[in-house]
Amino acid sequence: MYRVVTRIGSRVICIRTLCSTRVIYQGSNVLSRASAIDKSIEHNIKSETNRLAKTGKRFWDKCGIHFNRETGKYEIQLDGKTLRTPLGFPLALPETKKQLAYLIVHEWTNIPNISVKSSTLPLTSLAARSIDLQNKHDVNEEAKEKAKGVIAIEDLKVSLLRYLDTDTCLLFSSKKDCDGKLRQKQNELYLPLIEEYNDFFTTFAHKRKLMKSDEKLELKTLDCEKDGLRGNKQSQLTQTVALNWMHELDIFELIALEKAILTTKSFLCGVSILRSNVSDLERMQQVFQINKETQEKYWYKSVEEIIELGDLETILQTGEWGEVEDTHDVDKRDWMRSLACAALVSH
């Protein structure tokens, strides 16, 4: 972690940066986040998503949904033809994702006529990534080379697990930072969150028989006031429990988790998005609210609350010194868009 301090007029702006390059682990290879970005534009697979990435121009008149009775899935169509993902698979969503299908249609229907960028289709991107990851081993010859650059699902889970060690919500600043206001707010927000997740993962571990009934799981934190500059590392038991919990996610939930974690740099914030937005009552009871006895006791956080958890220091600094135009305001909207999309995909 490092800080960049700059002066604008009479104001001093302190901007925290946790890491200059996010890292994704792909098997034995380590890729920077920049190199792991979908490079659809570099491939010639015939799909609408690749065509949009190359031309940047609207090439369709109507977007709609077709329910395929044979597959039991909702297919997103442009001018009557089913959309395809970057790897060439039909953009078809299961019956449980009917609302997401209509939201994707809304994305394509309301896209502008000029200067179209694939980044203006965040829900489409997440849905396509889910489909491609799940089916990467079934690609045709044309897409085999590109499929090699798509991370395996099990490797993705391991890469996400690493964010639990450096979780924003498990790192406490010194009592002098921001005149003590930051540490005070961290104690107010993070301590109850940690207590909740200690109980959540302990209950999950007990019910899945991953540890003895008299044992309790405790997330390890890093307190800069007394621990100084050192890394934080979760126990092997904690990692095993968290990984086993991820094994119970479906592919759409996993991709929503990935999006939320990469946005907030927090595993706990990512899990919170899922726990607060998955709509299937049975899965809520068995996977996401497993430590709660009744629906009245279910634990929820709004997107705004999760943004505060993940971006607390910046929020406090901009509240004190003001925003840097075209920086903080843009970041704020990007956080909201990314986490809202993750919430919708997991719903």
**Alpha-helix residue ranges (DSSP H) falling in 91-218:** 98-109, 122-135, 144-147, 153-161, 181-207
Asked whether residue 25 is assigned to any structural domain, the reply reads: no
Q: Are residues 165 and 118 in the same domain?
A: no
Domain with 241 in it: 156-326+334-346
Contact 111, 123 (CB under 8 A): no
Q: Are residues 307 and 206 in the same domain?
A: yes
What single DSSP character describes residue 84? B
Q: What is the pLDDT of residue 24?
A: 30
Contact 172, 223 (CB under 8 A): yes
Asked whether residue 23 is assigned to any structural domain, the reply reads: no
Contact 339, 263 (CB under 8 A): yes
Residue 85 binned pLDDT confidence (cut-offs 50, 70, 90): very high
Measured between alpha carbons, how far is 121 from 287 in angstroms, rounded to an integer? 29
Measured between alpha carbons, how far is 186 from 312 in angstroms, rounded to an integer? 8
Measured between alpha carbons, how far is 95 from 102 in angstroms, rounded to an integer? 12
Q: Are residues 82 and 204 in the same domain?
A: no
What is the reported pTM? Answer: 0.83
Q: What is the pLDDT of residues 154-198, one digit of tens each?
A: 999 999 999 999 999 999 998 888 888 999 999 999 999 999 999
Answer yes or no: is pLDDT of 71 > 90: yes
CATH of the domain at 306: 1.10.3580.10
Contact 317, 13 (CB under 8 A): yes
Q: Are residues 188 and 202 in the same domain?
A: yes
Q: What is the pLDDT of residues 30-40, one digit of tens each?
A: 333 333 334 43
Give ∠ CA 219-240-154 in degrees, rounded to 5: 125
Q: Are residues 132 and 164 in the same domain?
A: no
Asked whether residue 303 is assigned to any structural domain, the reply reads: yes
Measured between alpha carbons, how far is 253 from 80 in angstroms, rounded to an integer? 29
Q: Write out the two tokens for 334.
A: 């990007």
Q: Are residues 132 and 181 in the same domain?
A: no
Measured between alpha carbons, how far is 17 from 14 in angstroms, rounded to an integer? 10
Asked whether residue 26 is assigned to any structural domain, the reply reads: no
Measured between alpha carbons, how far is 214 from 237 in angstroms, rounded to an integer? 14
Neighbours of 99 (CB within 10 A): 13
| Coil vs helix vs strand at 337 | helix
What single DSSP character describes residue 286? I
Q: What is the pLDDT of residue 343?
A: 98
Q: Are residues 145 and 160 in the same domain?
A: no
Q: What is the pLDDT of residue 336?
A: 95
Asked whether residue 35 is assigned to any structural domain, the reply reads: no
Q: Are residues 195 and 129 in the same domain?
A: no
Which residue did the predictor score with more confidence, 43 or 206? 206
List the beta bridge partners of residue 90: 84
- Choosing from 150, 182, 213, the residue where a domain stops is 150
Q: Are residues 108 and 201 in the same domain?
A: no
Contact 275, 299 (CB under 8 A): yes
Q: What is the pLDDT of residue 37?
A: 36
What average pLDDT does range 69-83 have in this prediction? 95
Answer yes or no: is pLDDT of 26 > 80: no
- Choosing from 133, 150, 167, the residue where a domain stops is 150
Q: Are residues 189 and 243 in the same domain?
A: yes
Answer yes or no: is pLDDT of 199 > 50: yes
**Number of domains into which the chain is organized:** 2
What average pLDDT does range 201-217 have in this prediction? 96
Which residue did the predictor score with more confidence, 180 or 278? 278
Measured between alpha carbons, how far is 330 from 344 in angstroms, rounded to an integer? 21
Asked whether residue 283 is assigned to any structural domain, the reply reads: yes
Give the highest mean pLDDT range of 41-55, 119-133, 300-314. 300-314
Q: Write out the two tokens for 277.
A: 């937005």
Which residue did the predictor score with more confidence, 344 or 328? 344
Q: What is the pLDDT of residue 53?
A: 63
Q: Are residues 207 and 184 in the same domain?
A: yes
Measured between alpha carbons, how far is 244 from 259 in angstroms, rounded to an integer? 19
Asked whether residue 202 is assigned to any structural domain, the reply reads: yes
Percent of the chain with pLDDT over 70: 79
Asked whether residue 34 is assigned to any structural domain, the reply reads: no
Q: How far is residue 197 from each of residues 73, 266, 267, 289, measured CA to CA in Å?
A: 35, 13, 11, 11
Q: Write out the two tokens for 164.
A: 């639990």
The distance of Cα 144 from the centroid of its chain, to the nearest Å, equals: 26
Q: Point out the least confidently predicted range of 37-46, 173-182, 315-324, 327-336.
A: 37-46
Q: Are residues 160 and 146 in the same domain?
A: no
Give the phi and the psi of residue 141 in degrees, each rounded to 5: -60, -35
Chain position carrying tokens 């305001």: 329
Q: What is the pLDDT of residue 167?
A: 98
Single-letter amino acid code for the residue at 51: R
Chain position carrying tokens 């077709």: 66
By CB neighbour count within 10 A (0-12 exposed, 13-18 middle, 19+ buried), where does 243 fall? Answer: middle
- Choosing from 150, 172, 199, the residue where a domain stops is 150
Answer yes or no: is pLDDT of 124 > 90: yes
Answer yes or no: is pLDDT of 118 > 90: no
List the beta bridge partners of residue 92: 75
Q: State the average pLDDT for the chain.
A: 84
CATH of the domain at 142: 3.30.2180.10
